[in-house]
Amino acid sequence: MKPNDDNGKLPTAQRPFRVLVIAGSERRQFGCAAIDSKARSLMFRMADRLPQEWEIDVEDLGNVWKREQIKTCNACVSTSMALCVWPCNCYHKNDSGQPDLMWNLDLYARLDLADAWAIIGPVNWYAPTSNLKAMFDRLVCMNGGNPREATIKHKDPDLAIALEHSPAWQTMSQNHLEGRSAAFFSYGDNGGDELDESGRPKMLRHREYFEPSDEPFKQMRNAYAPLVWQCRYGGIEVPDPLWRYEDSGRGKKYSDNQAEHMVADPKLLPSFDEWTDAFSTHVAAKGKVEPGEHRAYGYKPPSHFWADMWTKWRALRIALGFPNPGTSPAIQQQRGLNRDVTVLYKKGEGDKLRGK
């Protein structure tokens, strides 16, 4: 059935079971790629195959002309775990200054509402797609993020550092989506028709630079290992049989390896259907998941006008060379570590070198 987000208000025993299926390719026919992805086709195929008494939510992360994209993670957690807020407060919904697809599609709430996730996408350069990587980078906050931004006055790094070293932090920092299940199905063409008999790119002039036996993965499913292990790190179950890869279009030109060609593949679709059925069996047996203490569903971000004014004042002091004494920016400035005293902080380092 179609998802009804209002069911998230019901006790777990009274609401339907819910899954979220995500197509992670960058391609959409309404973008530069001009053709929809195989991931999108597989997303709908899976949605049609799952039990229809479940709430089945779907989302395609593909790039569309003039639509916002998922903003990158700002790595607040590397300053202090307590500076990384759950759900992410670096951006917000309908932000005209920094439009963010993650918030505008309500992905934090939808991931929270779902009992299980199914992620489908291609392998791009031995890795997940940039859109999936961006989404999971932005989910660092589910792994121990600060659920009470008021404790750091929205984004005060000094308060966050102090909080991270306090006894209160031990109970605040939680895996906010722990208990759910996730499954990953990736596919790839192993270079399509670009490789020669030795496994090297045909157009390669410096053949000694590329040794096929040294390629990073013997099992190409490991291209998605960063996402799988991020889930496991945060208490999201990823059963090994639900982490799968299949070849699609090996030896073919890319233009001959579209969704309409995939349906004739004698191996990929049966493997995908088997994966879908295994997912369905596993999550049905496991059952519904109780929500965490601090939910993304129903979250209303507080006003932080004055906090933003303070952040701008702090940034101005740093730009002028007067950071708060004893703080990390002050110590780094004193030791000449980052050479970042400038009011032209938007200018690239290359432009500075060239006097632009």
pLDDT tens-digit series, residues 273-299: 999 999 999 999 999 999 999 999 999
Is the pLDDT confidence value at 114 over 90?
Answer: yes
User: If you count them, how many residues does the chain have?
Assistant: 356
Average pLDDT of the chain is 93
Domain finish residue from 301, 329, 348: 301
Task: State the CATH number of the domain containing residue 81.
Answer: 3.40.50.360
Cis peptide preceding 147, ω within 30 of 0: no
pLDDT in tens, 239-269: 999 999 999 888 888 888 888 998 888 899 9
pLDDT on residue 72: 96
Strand-pair partners of 118? 21, 183
pLDDT on residue 22: 98
Q: 274 and 354 in one domain?
A: no
Looking at the 3D structure of the chain, how many domains does it have? 2
Could you tell me which residue, 238 or 353, shows the higher pLDDT? 238
pLDDT on residue 341: 86
Q: 315 and 238 in one domain?
A: no
Q: 89 and 228 in one domain?
A: yes
Q: 250 and 127 in one domain?
A: yes
Q: 352 and 220 in one domain?
A: no
Q: Which two tokens stand for residue 65?
A: 């002309």
Domain finish residue from 301, 319, 340: 301
Q: 355 and 269 in one domain?
A: no
Q: 104 and 59 in one domain?
A: yes
- pTM recorded for the entire structure: 0.94
Q: 338 and 232 in one domain?
A: no
Give the domain range for residue 95: 5-301
pLDDT on residue 48: 96
Q: 297 and 307 in one domain?
A: no
Domain finish residue from 280, 301, 322: 301
Q: 196 and 56 in one domain?
A: yes
65 φ/ψ angles, rounded to the nearest 5 degrees: -50, 130
Helices (H), the chain: 38-49, 101-104, 107-113, 130-137, 157-164, 169-172, 225-233, 259-262, 268-286, 305-319, 328-335, 349-353
Task: With cut-offs at 50, 70 and 90, classify the pLDDT of residue 188.
Answer: very high
